[in-house]
Amino acid sequence: MSTPPPVDLDDLLVDLRRLVECESPSADHAAVARSADLVAEIGTARLGQPPERITIDGWSHLRWRFGDRTTGRVLLLGHHDTVWPIGTLERIPFRVEAGVLRGPGCFDMLAGLVMAIHVVASLTDRNGVTLLVTGDEELGSPSSRQLVEDDARGATAALVLEASADGGALKVARKGVSLYEVGVAGRAAHAGLEPENGVNAAVELAHQLLTVAALGDPRAGTTVTPTVARAGTTANTVPATAGFTVDVRAWTAEEQQRVDTALRALTPVLPEAEVSVSGGINRPPLEASSSAEPATRAHRIVERLGLPPLSTAAVGGASDGNFTAGVGTPTLDGLGAVGGGAHADHEHVLVDRLLDRCALLHALVAELLEEGP
């Protein structure tokens, strides 16, 4: 296979700037819709055909399907929503200085999205390619999960354009994510006159919080982290209600299930207190076995094309790649931009790495399409 044609860097940067300057915080449906309009405009101009526009529960998603293959498809996956609120551009404007590109959402993951559009545009044969761009990934993909899983089923591979790990490393494993709300019901009473007649939900919360935190297993890499807690209404009232949220991360489905079972078995310590648990497993793990074949393929490609050598990483954060792996599709994540600072003020992309990442993606897609299912 010949070396892939180069993507025009200037054109890529023009499109990336337009997307960065179209702020798209995930929870703002109107902002996500405006961003989807722009992604559709850019994609239509570059790809020569408009996307399918899919709106679910107020969130805007886009999908391009090329050719007539029903098997052997290659799924390219990205999202256009970001974590940054409207107005962030006033504080962190788009700019490129000394080869470093900055701006809210540039690294996570608007650069990867633009790369995907330009690489697909450069393919001489797109038959069998699906490009899915979702609008709620940063919230855990509440409306788009089914889209992602449906497009992944039966695909030869899912290539996820999330930003790379440190130094450009591909993400070959991701922890699964579970999210819970633990609620406590007690009984209110005057804290000065008759506290003994109350059932203190805050005290019960403290018991439950320590029990939950102890479910983590450092040896297995499982973290169980109580996060936001609340209790009570006024300073002189025994709290009648309380609650806290729990973030669980695990490398294996078995560990996710162990913690889930334990959380649902929580029982109150104080007489007459009540404990409830809602939520559950949000994303299954992306286990290393799911990435093994496409990662090996990527290593062969960079060696053959003389591209910068690749490293790999296992990371705690999740992506839609967890869903594609969860339905059994070989998945390679972290194929997007090289840089750093996701979700932070120092978010940035290394401009001089954009083209070699595009070359890798181009070669991966072309090779998978040539081989078929």
Residues designated as active site: 81, 137
Omega of the bond leading into 109 within 30 degrees of 0 (cis): yes
| Secondary structure of residue 13 in the 3-state scheme | helix
For CA atoms 318, 360, 347, 139, the dihedral sign is: negative
For residue 135, give the nearest of 74, 66, 56 by alpha carbon: 56
For CA atoms 316, 207, 228, 278, the dihedral sign is: positive
How many angstroms from the chain centroid is the CA of residue 282? 11
319/305 Cα distance (integer angstroms):
28
CB neighbours of 90 closer than 8 A, spacing ≥ 6?
A: none
The answer to whether residues 134 and 52 touch, using CB atoms and an 8 Å cutoff, is no
CB neighbours of 330 closer than 8 A, spacing ≥ 6?
A: 156, 157, 158, 290, 291, 292, 293, 294
14/287 Cα distance (integer angstroms):
36
232/200 Cα distance (integer angstroms):
9
| Secondary structure of residue 87 in the 3-state scheme | coil
Residue with tokens 């405006």: 34
| Secondary structure of residue 125 in the 3-state scheme | coil
CB neighbours of 167 closer than 8 A, spacing ≥ 6?
A: 311, 338
